[in-house]
Amino acid sequence: MRLARDICRRLEGVPLAIELAAAQAAQYPLAQLARMLEPAQGWLGVPDAPLRRHRSLRAAVGAGYALCGVTERTVWARLSVFAGDFDEDAAVFVCAGGGLDAEDVPGALARLALASVLEPVRDPGGVLAPRYRMPAAVRGFGAERLQSAGETAAAVSRHLYWYGHVASTAHHLWSTGLHERAAALVRDEEAELRAALSREPSGADQAATALALAVDLWFWWAVCGHAAQGRAVLSRLLPLGRSDTRVCGQALWLAGWLAVNTDPVGATELLGQAWCVAVLAGDDATVGRVSHVQGALALEDGRTERAIAHLREAADTIPVDAEHGPPAAVSWALLAVAQARDRPADAWRSVRRASAGPQPRHDLWTRSMTQYAQAFVDHSRGRRSRAWRRAHKALAGALGVAGAARPPRQGGPPGTGGAAATATASAPGPPEATGGGASAETPVIASMAGPPGAALIHRLIAEIEAGRPPV
């Protein structure tokens, strides 16, 4: 039953495709049939169908292609590089050129939608801009036409450059504190971004563009819970481009940061390579961020003085307006955590430095990390009630960021993702009022070295409520 549902899902509910696949079920086991349908579907067919166009899925799609005009056929073929749904602007950028004017593309999209070649994802007459998707069988036929016309490389290149622009836009939204809009943009375009990153670059320029795209999505990999996927993408792209560019140094640092919780040895090697490339490229931000991760690793290993030295270097080195990674405020916050036990006065000064910059005022994630450091320092100084309140503010911020990365709940405001309910449920009252008690949440990974999140704050809350000294 599960395999049958999987086959119907792959065939996207197209009645003719399902009927033709059912005819193949007598010849192939369902598991094998599902695997055969993954790369292509046009081969599905039966020799004795009454109508010739129903004898194979490819013949049925080809009959529709024969009824299209030249403009529609060209747009159909070029649209085959899209893996999921897309908007009109993306279609115009990818399809225009080579004898096709940009103003002709929107009309061709509408006519292809009327011919059921494209499926409208949104109501074309609605408030939001229309989006379309191409069924798999139709896309496969278009890819064949594109290949025979010798235009595949050009269309793939334009697709990559367009979604490089999308990733850059999402990065700038995140950098200005518009976390929900940034995450929603990546979520809407995730299938196309994944397709752009998964294709083999045809040269050094395309490899550099793909690597820059991956670096622009640093917040999606590191903060929004996709670290394993981001590390896999960077590991595949890094050997394909030049190794002496600024973006290569940023990618090496990001790959190292994403790997510290699962492969500390590999992460250390990547960070060393990133430091060398960043120094030669004059990239102070990446040099500082390498020091930040090295300081966090030293702190987790109990080498406090070494951690303080690395984190101070990071806080002093990362420029105020640095992009593509945590700002200097996060380094100041972690420095305060390192100083909290033995240097409480220095720790409080570091906390004030973390809070004083422009980033915590508009960046919810940075503000959450700063509030975590404040709570940690307060707890170290015995101010449990104040520490508890600040820790829960930090937790609400971390859950808010995590909620922004998830699709909105039905009937709830965009970006909530259940974060507010979780934050409220885990906040019964200050430890003096409740008499202590461990937090109900059990963190999976509570690491300072990797991308920080709610698990780290949950651990601090458990320590505050239990009256234990901070770790």
Give tens-digit pLDDT for 32-82: 666 655 655 555 554 555 555 544 566 677 777 888 899 999 999 999 999
Helix (H, G, I), strand (E, B) or coil at 406: coil
> What's the pLDDT tens digit per position in 101-123?
999 999 999 999 888 889 888 76
CA pair distance 446, 68, nearest whole angstrom = 58
Match 């194979």 to its residue by tokens: 56
Mean pLDDT estimate for the chain: 81
318 or 401, higher pLDDT: 318
> What confidence tens digit (pLDDT) does each residue in 369-391 have?
899 999 999 998 888 899 899 98
Give me the helix-helix angle, 190-198 and 152-175, nearest 10°: 120
Q: What is the model's pLDDT at position 411? A: 45
Percentage of the chain surpassing pLDDT 70? 75
pTM: 0.79
The pLDDT, as a whole number, for residue 62 is 75
Token couple for 364: 């919810």
**H or E stretch covering 131:** strand 131-133
- Between 3 and 105, whose confidence is greater? 105
pLDDT of residue 381: 86
Closest CA to 452 of 394, 377, 403: 394
Residue 154 has pLDDT above 60, yes or no: yes
- Using CA atoms of 215, 218, 222, 223 in order, give the dihedral in degrees to the nearest 10: 180
DSSP class per residue in 79-129: HTT--S-EEHHHHHHHH-BTTB-GGGHHHHHHHHHHTTSSEESS-TTSSSP
Confidence of residue 454 (pLDDT cuts 50, 70, 90): confident
For 421-446, write each residue's pLDDT tens digit: 333 334 445 554 444 443 333 334 45
- Whether residue 155 is predicted with pLDDT greater than 80 in this model: the reply is yes
- pLDDT of amino acid 428: 47
Map residue 58 onto helix, strand or coil: helix
Pairing between strand 86-87 and 131-133?
antiparallel
- Quick check: helix, strand or coil at residue 293? helix
What are 216-265's pLDDT values in tens digits?
999 999 888 888 999 999 999 999 988 889 999 999 999 999 998 888 88
Q: Report the pLDDT value the prediction gives residue 35, as an integer from 0 to 100.
A: 62
**350 contacts: CB under 8 Å, gap ≥ 6:** 315, 332, 333, 335, 336, 339, 373
pLDDT of residue 311: 94
